[in-house]
Each structure stands twice: as structure tokens, then as C-alpha cells.
Homo-oligomer: A and B are copies of this chain.
């Protein structure tokens, strides 16, 4: 196979100054645009090779360890798929859920599970103020283990969703946009609306909207964040989005009028999240294991949510978007009115119209994760990728 598009991507990749080898991947905003582009290009190459029936295997053996401190079918399978595609075996660390571990426990666990590991994927998004911190503590323990000679290599810590960011989701989202608009360089100036939407559940993480405002303006998009008063994201991420918009040629606005925000949008991403203030109080209550307090907070929050039940993405709203045909996006699963709940984030007709598109959006995630492991762990990633494109082996013998 001599795939011209893969060849072009490899040349584009070679032109970037990006080196992720031996690093972790926790927040997109800790990485340069070139690094983000190199991940996206690598993901596209890996997917192209896979679709062409090529094997993506680079590891003869090795473990990919997953730590899910929250339930997850989709991300779990994406990580399992990525690990397997590269030749790593999945090993799941089943931690007693909802426990906040620190200190010696984290340090010891990090070493004990990593003797033959290449990557550790962590999902820890329940406690605001905890997930990212846990990942850094874990990574520091691995670093010490490597420097002190307990580990002969330094596994990469991959953020599979923290309290701050959900990079594997937002990078998959960018690849979906790339495909929709014909290239990352075609995103500049397009209006992207991240909207809060009603859900009969409470306490959804902030990481998806935060991750989106943290990355899209860097690719020149005109981003509007819209939510009811009080459903704030973390102020430091809001400031970051504004700063990055200025630097990246994009724009960033905050609004509280969903209908108005949809006007002229080319992409809409309506989803529920818990207000930052609620997430913070929830973390405190969880820390104290205050069940009564948690019940009370849930009731309070659901009552508040109910006041915004009209924040649903329906056909009327979609009509206001550019040419009435904005791209609807969602990280799944969506709360679909009349399908998965009585009233939810999106009407049945809108979701059904974009259902296949949301699956396509999700389809990028295994390849994004594979790209992250590939770039952080393979010593000469570009040369290896070139070899896979030029003379790779078929996946089925």
C-alpha cells in the first residue's frame, strides 16, 4: 500500500517541532500547538493504516494499566482497543471506588503496577480539585521509580478524563471537525457553541466543556460558551480560554442565552454539567462521606436544574444555526428526550438525525489514545510510523 494521503500526513508530521517521548499527557494546554497537531496527525495515520488492514503493533509485550475511578464503558473500551492495537495487554487496577488516595498509597501503588507497564490511563473526574492532582502525584511516583532504578522505563500517564480536562475526547472532537470541514486549517472563524443543556441527572463533570474551551480557540475557532447563570466553569480555565483565543487567532465569548448563541453556529455541542460551586461542595461532602449532605445537595441541584428544563437542543434551535444545518456533537451517552429519559439534553429527532455522526465522532477516540501512547513511548516515533506506512505487516496473517 502506498497511500498518498498518509504520505502527506507523514511529511506534515516531519515538519512539526514536537517531541512527546517520555512525557505524560494530562492537559492539552500544557502542550504546544505543534504537539497537539502531531497527535492528531499520528491518530489519522494509525487509523488509515488500521482501515487498510495493517497491524499497528509496535510492542512485542508490555502492559497498559487502566485506573477508572468512575464507571466507563466507552473510554474503557477505547483504551483497551488502543492498547491492544499497539500490542499492549490491558491490566485494570480495580480501586475501591470513591476513595481519595494520597501519599504512600499512591506512591507504592504506582510502582507496584508499573514494573512492566508502558502506559497508565487514569480516569478520575468525580472530585473537583482531585483528579488532576492524583494524576500528577502518580506521575511523580513513576518518575522517582524510574530515576531510582526500580522501573527500567518510565510509563506514560495518560489522562482519560480528569476534573479539569478530557483531552482524548476533545482531540477526537477535533478530528471529527477536521473531517467535517476538510482540514484543521479550515476551522478558523467558524462559530462553535458549547451549551449547557438540561439533564435529569446531577453532577456531570466539568471536564468536557472545560476541555473544549481550552482547545478550540487555539485552532482559531470562534467559541461561545453558553449556560444559565450560576453554571460556571472553573475561572482559571475561563481565563485560559480567553488568553489562548487571543494567541491562537480564535475568539471566546460567554453568554447566558441559548437561542441567541445558536444563531449562525456551525457546530453545537449541548451537554449538561454541574455548576463548579456544586462540584466543589460535592467534593467536600464526599471527603467527609456525608451521605445526608450529598442527598440534600443533589435535591437542591436537581431543583435548580429543573428551572432550566427548556435548555434542550431541539429542531427549533437547530433552525437558528448556519443554514439551519450546524453539526451537532456530543461525547455520548446523550440524555435523549423520550429515549433515555423523559426530558433531556437533546430532542429525539435532532439526535436521530446526527446519531451516526456522533458515532463517527467517538470512533476517533481509540486512535487518539493509541497516538498518545505511541508518541510518548516509542523512541523514534516518526521513523517507526514511516516504516509502518512503507512496509507494515497485515493485521490478519
Chain A interface residues toward B at CB < 8 A: 50-51, 55-63, 65, 73-74, 77-78, 80-81, 84-87, 89-91, 93, 103-105, 107-109, 111-113, 115-117, 144-145, 148-152, 332-333, 336, 339-340, 355-356, 359-360, 362-363, 365-366, 377-379, 384, 393-397
Contact = CB atoms under 8 A, between A and B. Distances in A.
A82 B93 CA distance: 16
5 contacts: A50-B116, A50-B152, A63-B80, A84-B89, A84-B91
B362 A112 contact: yes
Contact of A108 (B333, B360, B396): B333
Given A89-B89, A91-B90, A115-B366, A61 B84 contact: yes
A323 to B, nearest CB: 23
B356 A379 contact: no
Nearest to A112: B74
B115 A363 contact: yes
Closest 5 CB pairs of A and B: A81-B116, A55-B60, A51-B152, A77-B113, A84-B89
Contact of A84 (B51, B63, B80): B63
A355 B356 CA distance: 52
Each complex incorporates copies of this chain amounting to: 3
Given A84-B61, A105-B340, A112 B77 contact: yes
A152 B54 CA distance: 12
A143 to B, nearest CB: 13
Q: A interface, by DSSP: helix, strand, loop or mixed? A: mixed
Nearest to A76: B91
B332 A108 contact: yes
Nearest to A88: B84
A104 B62 contact: no
A118 B48 CA distance: 18
Contacts of A87: 61
Contact of A61 (B57, B115, B339): B57
A149 B360 contact: yes
A396 B59 contact: yes
Contact of A58 (B77, B340, B397): B397
Nearest to A95: B73
Given A73-B109, A339-B103, A384 B363 contact: no
Contacts of A112: 73-74, 77, 332, 359, 362
B57 A84 contact: no
Contacts of A93: 73, 77
Contact of A77 (B81, B91, B339, B366): B91
Contacts of A74: 112
A113 B113 CA distance: 25
Contact of A363 (B61, B63, B150): B150
Contacts of A111: 359, 362-363
Given A109-B73, A152-B50, A340-B104, A81 B359 contact: no
A56 B61 CA distance: 8
A387 B84 CA distance: 25
Contacts of A355: 104, 107
B78 A115 contact: yes
A105 B87 CA distance: 30
A384 B112 CA distance: 28
Given A61-B56, A61-B57, A89-B84, A356 B77 contact: no
A356 B60 contact: no
A16 to B, nearest CB: 22
A85 B116 contact: yes
Nearest to A366: B115
